Amino acid sequence: MNIQKATNKAIKKDKFIARRKEGRSGRIKIKPQNNNLPCEVINIKESRTARGWEPKADDLTANDWCVVD
């Protein structure tokens, strides 16, 4: 699904979003939030908080986003 649909579903379920395909920046998952805190970005491979996410246009237009724990 696209990033917008995945984000809306993740917010409703209090979960993360991730791409099925591993990108150039490695595999990350993002917890979208609508509060004063930034979205939580986790490096899945290292199981730790990532410093941030610098998406490419391909990330933003991809249709392989999914909701994950």
Two structure tokens written together for 3: 């990033």
Parent domain of 40: 3-68
Name residues whose C-beta falls within 8 Å of residue 64's C-beta, 6 or more positions apart in sequence. Answer: 19, 20, 21
**What pLDDT score does 44 carry?**
86
**What pLDDT score does 63 carry?**
94
Q: How many domains does the chain have?
A: 1
pTM: 0.88
**What pLDDT score does 51 carry?**
83
**What pLDDT score does 52 carry?**
82
Indicate whether 69 pLDDT > 60. yes
Q: How far apart are CA 3 and CA 12, in angstroms?
A: 14
- Quick: pLDDT tens for 10-64: 999 999 999 987 655 458 999 999 999 889 999 988 889 988 888 999 999 999 9
